Amino acid sequence: MAEKADDEATMNLWVQRFPVIDWTPELLSVYPEKTATMVRISGLILVFDNWIAEIGYGLMEIPFPEGTPTKYFGWAKPEWTFVHTFMNGFHESIWAFVKKIDQQKSADGEASNLETLYMSTTEPDLSYEDAGRKITKRNLARREALGRVQSAIDAGYFLEAIAFEEAVISNCLYLYCLAKGIHKKETSLYIMLDAVLRKLGKDHGDYSMFDALNSWRRDRNHALHNFVIARSDDLLKSTNTFAMRSEKTAKNGLSLAKEVCSWYEREAPGFLTTSWPADRPLTH
């Protein structure tokens, strides 16, 4: 771990020792110095795979399978069911914890570390640093667009607000579909929404949000495309109706756009695959 730390202060932050307050002689073999070592998650994430691999390939002196891809606990024999169950559970838990922390970073407007890593490994010639800057600029652009939506609504420019809302929502859906392998080149809001709804299924927790978004899409179509005056003596009535519907659609759209952005920020850290493929054996 010391090799990973930039300086001694970082190492002292990652690894700290505390006295065992309720120490008894029975704990001598576990805490011979009457102190416990705490390793923070920020340091553990960098070394846990090496530590666990060392248990088998180092302490147990199990030969390392040269040239063969293996899990960091690949030294465990197939019949060691408890070890495999525990380690797979540990693997899922630690990455779920990391993703939860990363989601908060994304919600604060910063670039998600995991989305940055995903983008830098899937886009040719894009470094990790450049990917981070690209995501930060995108997040800022979304927030600026939502600010312009609110300004447009306040000024009564409801169609402008709806157009910005669609742009923000479509951007989130497009990047999600791209990451999940759904309609990689499709930018139609209708097709992307349909694909996401079918992928999630009605029992998914986010289904109701996307169902509401689909209803808003139809209202948006009416506001942007279906304002037709049939007779001149209906002009005032039609204009008033159009204005009320457009205002309602714009305000609903702002709420949904914010909700979709929050949803994307929760989902983006999961674009990077951290789970073992289900069809792979538990050992090498």
Q: What is the pLDDT of residue 3?
A: 65
Q: Which residue has the tokens 């942007």?
A: 224
Query: Of 69-73, 80-84, 186-190, which one has max mean pLDDT?
Result: 80-84
Among 65-74, 157-166, 258-267, the minimum mean pLDDT is found in 65-74
256 close to 102: Cβ distance less than 8 angstroms? no
Q: What is the pLDDT of residue 235?
A: 56
Question: Based on the number of CB atoms within 10 Å of its own CB, is 209 exposed (0-12), middle (13-18) or buried (19 or more)?
Answer: middle
pLDDT band at 6 (very low <50, low <70, confident <90, very high): low
Q: In 156-279, where does DSSP find H-type helix?
A: 158-180, 189-200, 207-225, 235-267
Note if the pTM is more than 0.85.
no
Q: Number of helices (H) and strands (E), helices first, in the chain? A: 9, 2
pLDDT at 115 exceeding the cut of 90: yes
Q: What is the pLDDT of residue 279?
A: 46
Q: In 18-112, where does DSSP find H-type helix?
A: 41-54, 81-107
Average of per-residue pLDDT across 106-124 = 88
pLDDT band at 120 (very low <50, low <70, confident <90, very high): very high
Q: What is the pLDDT of residue 183?
A: 72
Kindly report, residue by residue over 7-36, the tens digit of the pLDDT. Answer: 677 777 778 888 998 999 999 988 899 999
Average of per-residue pLDDT across 187-204 = 86
Q: What is the pLDDT of residue 230?
A: 40
pLDDT band at 136 (very low <50, low <70, confident <90, very high): very high
pLDDT at 2 exceeding the cut of 70: no
pLDDT band at 116 (very low <50, low <70, confident <90, very high): very high
> Is the C-alpha dihedral spanning 175, 181, 187, 191 positive or negative?
negative
> Is the C-alpha dihedral spanning 266, 268, 273, 274 positive or negative?
negative
Q: What is the pLDDT of residue 131?
A: 93
